[in-house]
Amino acid sequence: MLDAKLSQASKLIDITSNIKKNIQNSRTKLLTITSGKGGVGKSTFTANIAFLLAQKDLKIAVLDADIGLANMQVLFDIKPQYTLFEYINGQKNLSEIILQTKYKNISLIAGKSGYQYASGTNSFVFTRLVNDIISLNQFDILIVDTGAGLNDYVKEFLSISENILAITTTDPSALTDVYSLLKMLAIDKDSLMLCFNHTKSYHAGETITNSLVNLAKKNRLKEDFMIKYLGSITSSENISITGRLRKLFVSEFPMSEITVQMQRIVEKILINIR
């Protein structure tokens, strides 16, 4: 019995290792956007960043991986007939769950809000899903929008990505959660891209990033682990308003300072993504 379980575990590790290699060698780049804490504007940030990347004539797919709390369909103003779970459960094929949004070059693989998935029934199912999407070779970048925190779902998505971007705020509890994320990633990753939301200035985020770097050194985290500060985004009531209207801020306010801030972040993403 024990030998059988060990053999199964070994096979799963081999499968996952092969999938990771395939993902890393694919022309479709995998960008995983996460946050240590909920309520920091991660999904809104993801949707707007996807739009700006698509404006550069890049084909973008967004995977709503916030298991149980999916909301990307609202941000992109789309009513999905099928979600990633219909594919995982074998009810639909991949092409049926990839939805073209109203925005040029942006496709969405929607999640399902309020849906509870028993991950133990199918090991590495989300790893396989990401691999299947990337293997299509239809997209330049696949953006995975994870849930908040560090639950098993989030950890699975993080484990297969070499391009991880954390969005946070200057709130002390949010920074504590980001540092927990940083400590976990430093074990087997070599970098983390970091952005701040609702800040007063670029330099405010830069100062906090430097403090995180110094704290990491003090606690003797992996020496060659890099925190790459991409920029900060100031606040605007119009971001919430456009979200409620199911519109994207950067599309509605292309000349605003916040859009310029996000454009700078996009440029740095393209420099750092592998």
Average pLDDT of adjacent 10-residue blocks, the chain of 274 residues: 53 72 88 91 97 98 91 95 93 96 98 68 80 96 94 91 96 92 92 95 92 86 89 92 93 96 98 94
How many structural domains are present in the chain? 1
- pLDDT confidence of residue 218: 84
pTM assigned to the model: 0.92
- pLDDT confidence of residue 223: 79
CATH of the domain at 187: 3.40.50.300
How many other CB atoms are found less than 10 A from the CB of residue 172? 8
Conformation bin of residue 39: beta by default, left when phi > 0, alpha when psi is -120 to 50: left
- pLDDT confidence of residue 3: 53
Sheet holding 29-35, edge to edge: 98-100, 106-109, 60-65, 141-148, 29-35, 164-168, 191-197, 226-233
Q: Residue 208's domain spans which residues?
A: 2-272
